[in-house]
Amino acid sequence: MQSSATWNSLPLTVAATPSLTWHSTLLGIFSTGMATIIAVLLVPEDPTAPGALLYPALILSAGLATAPVAAAVRQPKAIFRGESLLALAPIYWLLLDLLQGVYSLDHISADEVRLAFTGIGLFVGMVWVGAIRRPWRTPAALVRAVSQEFSLNTYFALAIACFLIGMLNFAVATNFNVAAMVHYLGQERWSAPWGRGQLGGWDAFLDHLQYFGYLLPILTVVITRRTGLRNPRSLICIAMSIVMTLFLAQSGSRRVIGVVAGMALVLWVLDQRHLRLKQLLTTAFAIVALLLALQLMLEYRNVGFRSLLGTTDALVSSRREKSQLLEVQHLRVDDNFYRLCQIIQLIPHSHPFVYHKYVVYVMVRPVPRVFWPEKPVDPGFDLPTALGVEGVSYSYSVIGELYMSLGLLGIALGGWFYGRVAAMASGLLKRSTTQGALVIYSIVVMALFSGMRSILELILVSYVVLAWVVLSQLFVKLRRARVT
């Protein structure tokens, strides 16, 4: 068992050395700015063909990654600073498809691509600016949640509680019929009874119980690090994590699995006293395995994983017969860059900026619709509707959402806000050295990374923090009541 003194050596507390932090920040701003300028200049007059933007995207990706990689060379754990992950996030969410030449940018002009590259560089540059400032004050409830250190037995009890609460959504939907739960586990994403529409009612409360299940893998890492993989409690936690992850994966939401696995991976890395070659190779292998798993989810989420078994009914009901695993030869994320260019094409030329409507839409999202039936259903602009497409939803990244609010100024303000949240997370870890602080930090940095897809993802993943605060405080009160 490692004492809490171990956490004092974590590189996430490098905020105490201003020279290193300022060096990284200035390098991040300079490399991002220079790469953005070069990428804009390299955009061809006809950017529509697949692969036409390879070199501009490659230059911009290198510029975004320069500061995080330089910090990681000095101290590998520094790659998991919030601002470092935010600098790398656009490479995954926006530029990876361009680097692979996955799709064509039909009806998109060179000027719109240049403005999209400018928006990406501006966002990341403002992230570095926001992260260098003094952190915001941490909410008192969060401070109380991370100030308590739990015993191994308590962490195991927390893991069991997270499993039971997280599985309630699936169990209630099937009337606690285990056979039915297993049956729907292999079906396509829309057939399970625990799925719900966009405008949920009371069932939305059950849906939120899944956020307790998000904590299971991260608690499994805590327990296995203290007891070893062969300990019965570790094996039980691993089994519960696998079950929970399979049920979460049934929805076909790749970002959920990425966040859940990412939180556990971040905690595992930060929990290492020293990162040697073995740990680095394990981390790299875990990232590659996660990317392959996400690709597999994309290919099978509309037909169900039961088709992997080759059963007749599964093959008949599937939309297309799968002949092999990982048929697509590239890692497909989303067409976020294409949709970002379409947003730039339409706003403000054909549609006005939405201004405060987007902020209001995000802030009222946690309010259950059963209490507010007239709650806004969109941020004031819907891209599929503007394009004349029905029955689909498009993701265009947080940069697209900020642009449709207030153009480049909105992107700058959003990047600064994300940087401030990253600074607050690092400040929390610097302030407290408990295991709970590491748990909260791992959740927040993955919320920031997934929040590059949409600011709503940042809000929703933040519910996991709320789940930890509620559950940990409940266990603290139970412990005090037992002592009394």
Least confident of 27-41, 63-77, 141-155: 141-155
Asked if residue 151 belongs to a domain, the reply is yes
* Residues 29-66 pLDDT 10s: 999 999 999 999 999 999 988 889 999 999 999 999 99
Asked if residue 359 belongs to a domain, the reply is no
Least confident of 161-165, 181-185, 281-285, 348-352: 181-185
Angstrom distance (rounded) from CA 469 to CA 460: 15
Q: 226 pLDDT exceeds 60?
A: yes
Query: Which residue from 216, 259, 263, 275 is spatially nearest to 440, judged by alpha carbons?
Result: 263
Tell me the torsion sign for CA atoms 1, 142, 80, 223: positive
Start-to-end C-alpha separation, the chain: 28
CB count in 10 Å sphere of residue 363: 11
Angstrom distance (rounded) from CA 212 to CA 214: 5
pLDDT reported for residue 118: 96
Asked if residue 354 belongs to a domain, the reply is no
CB count in 10 Å sphere of residue 2: 11
Last residue of a domain, one of 296, 317, 338: 317
Asked if residue 369 belongs to a domain, the reply is no
Does 170 lie in the same domain as 267?
A: yes
Asked if residue 382 belongs to a domain, the reply is no
Which residues lie closer than 8 Å to 413 by C-beta, 6 or more apart?
126, 402, 406
Asked if residue 298 belongs to a domain, the reply is yes
Asked if residue 88 belongs to a domain, the reply is yes
Residue 192 domain boundaries: 146-317
CB count in 10 Å sphere of residue 275: 17
Q: Return the residue matching tokens 């926006």.
A: 94
Looking at the structure of the chain, the number of domains it has is: 2
**Mean pLDDT of the region 248-274:** 86
Query: If pLDDT is split at 50, 70 and 90, which confidence band does 84 have?
Result: very high
Mean pLDDT of the chain: 82
Could you give the angle at the alpha carbon of 326 between the alpha carbons of 324 and 332, nearest 5°? 150
Query: Under DSSP, is residue 393 helix (H, G, I), strand (E, B) or coil?
Result: coil
Whole-structure pTM value = 0.86
**Mean pLDDT of the region 387-400:** 84
**DSSP code for 219:** H
Inter-residue contact 139 to 179 (CB < 8 Å): no
Does 477 lie in the same domain as 441?
A: yes
Angstrom distance (rounded) from CA 36 to CA 235: 48
Give percent of the chain with pLDDT exceeding 90: 35
* Residues 91-127 pLDDT 10s: 999 999 899 888 889 889 999 999 999 999 999 999 9
* Residues 424-438 pLDDT 10s: 888 888 877 788 888
Angstrom distance (rounded) from CA 392 to CA 316: 25
Query: If pLDDT is split at 50, 70 and 90, which confidence band does 206 have?
Result: confident
pLDDT reported for residue 202: 59
Angstrom distance (rounded) from CA 215 to CA 295: 23
Query: If pLDDT is split at 50, 70 and 90, which confidence band does 305 have?
Result: low
**Mean pLDDT of the region 202-220:** 83
Query: If pLDDT is split at 50, 70 and 90, which confidence band does 379 have?
Result: confident
Does 159 lie in the same domain as 78?
A: no
Asked if residue 336 belongs to a domain, the reply is no
Angstrom distance (rounded) from CA 446 to CA 225: 21
